[in-house]
Amino acid sequence: MSNEAENKNHNQIESLHKKLNSFKDRLAFLINDCNQVYLTTNLSPDYDAIASLGAIGLICKKFKKAPYIIVDQKDFDNLPNDRADMFEKLKEKFVVINKEDFENNKVENSLLIAVDVNKTFMTPMKNNYKDFENIVIIDHHTEDENTIKTKNKLIMKDVSSCSEMLFWLIKKYKVKPSDPIYYTYLLTGIELDTNEGKKNVYPSTDLCRSELKTRGANDLVAASYFSLDFEQDRKVHRLIDETVWKNFRYGIIVGNNEEYTKEEIAKAADYLLKYTCEAAIVCAKNKDGSYDVSARSNRGNVDLPRLMQLLNGGGGNFNSASCAPIFIDADTLDKEKEEIYKKLDDIIYHRYTGKKKRYRVVRKKKKDE
């Protein structure tokens, strides 16, 4: 490795720890100063979100505060088995409540900590943020006008995942989980957001993965969360077969007549990055009849958060983003697909105009291809 590369790696790690060090004392003060801590994350939480909940919960316990995890009850009841099992492990140490439980048992001077999310509409709390004396955000997704309003936030872009951020924080607080499964969950969260080490990997990420394994994270268990059975794999590839290429810059899928989970849609988007393209956008029907959307980019020069926000109020970062489910009222599947393709075309080719100005999706100024 050249001296220049070594310096770049050193600077990334040093910058990360500088930000964490400047934040950790403020977080400790807020936890100690409140009467009750509540934790939340995005709706339909993935491995990164659940692992982050566990880690921040352990930090709260370090400061003698027993946190409540707030979930959307319908969303929670419909979690896939693997994530439901992860939550069952968390429930051994933390109490999981729904929004109604919270509203019926509010505590004055409460603190809300949101992990792996920063948008107001993407958590179970939605219109309840005013019920908290303070709110903390720990996240790695891009901020925008929909970001929860608070001065207490740690939002980092040059990091693989929220799980990585939380590992470094529990290390700084000298939190040592008695059960190494928490380390395995954090490793799983990192593997999810890096597509098992194929993207969005920083020098600090490699170091974090190594330290997690040293502390007892089971990489075989983590890898098992990403295995597919044959039928599920064929189902994902049937979705991939719907790909339409836009000038070799975008691989776009608007699904077939099958129902897909968010994880299956994300796998299809990740798969498209194997090909030469700037970004992949996958839309497929969920069990409610609306379309879930997952967007991915290898090179990071497409403003995915803005694209998803314009499409239907979403967010993320330049490598991975999503938006709220899209419902299309049309008579046939072909008409639904036609309408979604038109929405995407209007945004990608800069024909979308907001109330005041024209938005560009491409990060760097380029001529339309």
66 and 196 assigned to the same domain? yes
- Per residue in 55-109, pLDDT tens? 999 999 999 999 999 999 998 998 888 999 999 999 999 999 999 999 999 999 9
- Per residue in 19-69, pLDDT tens? 999 999 999 999 999 999 999 999 889 999 999 999 999 999 999 999 999
42 and 150 assigned to the same domain? yes
- Show the domain range for 250: 230-348
Work out the pLDDT band at 1, boundaries 50, 70, 90.
Answer: low
Q: Mean pLDDT of all residues in the chain?
A: 90
323 and 188 assigned to the same domain? no
- Per residue in 214-264, pLDDT tens? 999 999 999 999 887 899 899 999 999 999 998 768 999 999 999 999 889
Instruction: Tell whether 332 is covered by a domain.
Output: yes
Instruction: Tell whether 367 is covered by a domain.
Output: no
81 and 197 assigned to the same domain? yes
- Per residue in 120-164, pLDDT tens? 989 999 889 999 999 999 999 989 888 999 999 999 989 999 999
Q: What is the pLDDT of residue 316?
A: 85
Instruction: Tell whether 363 is covered by a domain.
Output: no
Query: What CATH number is associated with residue 254?
Result: 3.10.310.30
242 and 113 assigned to the same domain? no
- Single residue among 209, 224, 239 that ends a domain in this structure: 224
- Per residue in 256-301, pLDDT tens? 999 999 889 999 999 999 888 889 999 999 988 999 999 999 777 7
Domain count, the chain: 2
Segment 166-189 mean pLDDT: 97
- Single residue among 190, 224, 258 that ends a domain in this structure: 224
297 and 325 assigned to the same domain? yes
87 and 216 assigned to the same domain? yes
pTM: 0.82
257 and 299 assigned to the same domain? yes
Percent of the chain with pLDDT over 70: 94
Instruction: Tell whether 353 is covered by a domain.
Output: no
- Single residue among 224, 251, 271 that ends a domain in this structure: 224
Those residues with Cβ within 8 angstroms of residue 16's Cβ, 6 or more apart along the chain or in another chain:
156, 158, 159, 168, 202, 204
62 and 198 assigned to the same domain? yes
Instruction: Tell whether 305 is covered by a domain.
Output: yes
Instruction: Tell whether 368 is covered by a domain.
Output: no
136 and 271 assigned to the same domain? no
Percent of the chain with pLDDT over 90: 70
Query: What CATH number is associated with residue 47?
Result: 3.90.1640.10
Question: Is the pLDDT reported for residue 355 higher than 70?
Answer: no
Work out the pLDDT band at 365, boundaries 50, 70, 90.
Answer: very low
Those residues with Cβ within 8 angstroms of residue 179's Cβ, 6 or more apart along the chain or in another chain:
89
187 and 291 assigned to the same domain? no
149 and 273 assigned to the same domain? no
